[in-house]
Copies of this chain bind each other. A is one copy, B any other.
Amino acid sequence: MQLLEERILMDGNVIGEGVLKVDSFLNHQMDMTLFQEMGKEWKRLFTDRPINKILTIEASGIGIACVAAQYFDVPVVFAKKAQSINIEGDVYSTKIESFTHKRTYDVIVSKKFIGPEDHVLIIDDFLANGCALEGLIEIVEQSGATIEGIGIAIEKGFQRGGKIIRDKGIRLESLAIIDSMENGKVTFRK
């Protein structure tokens, strides 16, 4: 998606070893005009799929998922990290390893909100090693729902996550795939 690639080149910053900071428009400050265009693009890409629910994970997936959900006219469910006393007992749960935060999270979704009748689009901001996505996929599989596809804003194509997901046979649409960030220069997959 040209608009997102241009924005990454303009406002993204490569720092250190393989870290791309996009906090000025994607995951700390959030640009709603960009999110709307991303939502329209996913709707165009998945228009043949009978999606009735979008699943994401807190925190930075929520804004993107909500804006996108308006174009699908479906509700959003977000997976929660760690147990809250305000969530009732009946939950799907899995563990997700976070390299960013150097820890492992328990992730839960209430059984009330996903079941065998659902057709789910998973949306998240980043795909790198794929740990978060594998957790969300496991939760959908526990629920018996159908995964219609996965929409990612930025995929780090030089990490293993994208290959793992595509090898499962799941349709994955990343709006920008970065093949290299060597010497601070971002190169996108053609």
A contact set with B: CB distance below 8 Å: 19, 21, 23-25, 28-32, 35-36, 58-59, 62-63, 65-67, 69-70, 73-78, 80, 82, 84-88, 100-102, 109-110, 112-113
Is A29 a contact partner of B63 (Cβ separation < 8 A)? no
A65 to B66, CA, bound (A): 10
25 A-B contacts (beta carbon < 8 Å):
A23-B87, A23-B112, A23-B113, A24-B112, A28-B78, A29-B75, A29-B110, A29-B113, A30-B69, A30-B76, A32-B70, A32-B74, A35-B66, A58-B59, A59-B62, A59-B78, A59-B80, A62-B66, A63-B66, A66-B66, A66-B67, A67-B67, A82-B101, A84-B101, A86-B100
CB distance from A18 to the nearest CB of B (A): 11
CB distance from A27 to the nearest CB of B (A): 8
Choose from B23, B29, B77 the contact partner of A30 (Cβ within 8 Å): B77
9 nearest interchain CB pairs? A58-B59, A63-B66, A62-B62, A29-B113, A59-B59, A30-B76, A29-B77, A32-B69, A62-B63
Choose from B23, B63, B76 the contact partner of A32 (Cβ within 8 Å): B76
Is B84 a contact partner of A100 (Cβ separation < 8 A)? yes
CB distance from A92 to the nearest CB of B (A): 12
CB distance from A30 to the nearest CB of B (A): 5
